[in-house]
Amino acid sequence: MKIIHCGDLHLDAKMETHFNVEQARERRYEILGTFERMVEYGRANGVSLVLIAGDMFDTVASSQRRIKDRVLEIITSHEDIDFLYLQGNHDSDTYFKSLAALPANLKLFDGHWTSYRYGDVVVSGVEFGKETTPGIYDLLSLDHDMFNIVMLHGQVTSNRNSLESGMVNIPLLKDRGIDYLALGHLHDYHCESLDGRGVYCYCGALEGRGFDETGKKGFVVLDIADKQLDYQFVSLARREFHIIPVALDGCLSTAQALDLVEQAIEKGEKDDCVRIILEGRVDENFDLDLDYLSHQLKDRFYFVELINRIRLDVDYRKFANDISLKGEFIRTVEALDLDEPSKNKIIKMGLNALLHKEVIS
């Protein structure tokens, strides 16, 4: 039996933090397209179940109703696949639960443990409310002779006494007969051992939505045969987010800076979203033309952002003879019984503070 584990789709998110209105709209439909490609991948590869471990949607905004309607169309047009949808902390929307009749292949969960059986595979899940009910884990009853998948949405904790809202208590789930704990909430793929029998796994998001979600995004495909599990991470994402640091130490011109940037992004994908962080130490007279760099790079990627973090090497001792607070400060430090590196460091930090600049050693 083959199963897809996905989650944190946020299909109707506004997407306007980095993008303009047109790009944000395009990205919403691109992520919806990735969901559809995932389902088509499932059909082509004999997948029987799609587990959606929370946060399918992001907002209750009525303007996004057409996206929810399209999700429903995708589900109903794949009758050979069952979709098991467990709501997450962003899923305040009641779109599916408000339908007069659910599609036969769409199964939901609620605040009580609910199980669905497919031969010797059983999928159980519960939706956490504002507070986790004490003893909720003790209410989970599994047949150890079955292959047991448990779905939850939340942040894992190793503190067995924690019953905070949205926390998945790993110690209280051990040795309960779980073969695969399908989790949602974290947007990066991560799997590790639960106990001697099973594993717990965050599938991550289908697509990144910002620079806090860099790298490969996708879903997990489970292949269960004779109660034995194989699983793999699959990415069908339309775009990725990258953060690329570029060291400009000793750079003398904007043209030279552009050469260094182009070397750093040589392997970048044109369709991706890139944040370039310019860093390093340069001469105090170096005048970096960020507008020029932005213009030269704007057609290289779907979205590009430049962050200027270069640090100017300033000859602070040129203020030593000033009749000013700066001059007095430098003369005071020079009179101290310290080695030259220590004096330089103190002078630099002190003048940065006096000049209302960031104090960096």
pLDDT one-digit tens code per residue, 177-209: 999 999 999 999 999 999 999 999 999 999 999
Residue 83 reports pLDDT greater than 90: yes
pLDDT at 11: 87
pLDDT one-digit tens code per residue, 2-31: 999 999 999 888 877 788 888 888 999 999
Radius of gyration of the chain (CA): 27
Kindly report the average pLDDT of the chain as a whole number: 88
C-alpha distances in Å from residue 166, one per residue of 10, 48, 53, 129, 239: 17, 29, 13, 8, 29
pLDDT at 62: 47
Task: Report the candidate in 27, 71, 94, 79 with the shortest Cα–Cα distance to residue 48.
Answer: 79
Residue 150 reports pLDDT greater than 60: yes
> Tokens 């007969």 label which residue?
177
Residues 361 and 351: their CA atoms lie apart, in Å, by 11
At 206, list the tokens: 């289908």
Q: How are strands ordered across the β-sheet holding 114-118?
A: 114-118, 121-125, 147-153, 180-184, 199-202, 190-193
Superfamily of chain region 2-234 = Metallo-dependent phosphatases (3.60.21.10)
Q: Where in the chain are all domains bearing CATH 3.60.21.10?
A: 2-234
Task: Report the candidate in 204, 213, 210, 275 with the shortest Cα–Cα distance to residue 246.
Answer: 275
State which amino acid sits at residue 148: N
Give mean pLDDT, residues 35-39. Answer: 97
> Is 11 in contact with 93 (CB distance < 8 Å)?
no
Residue 153 reports pLDDT greater than 90: yes
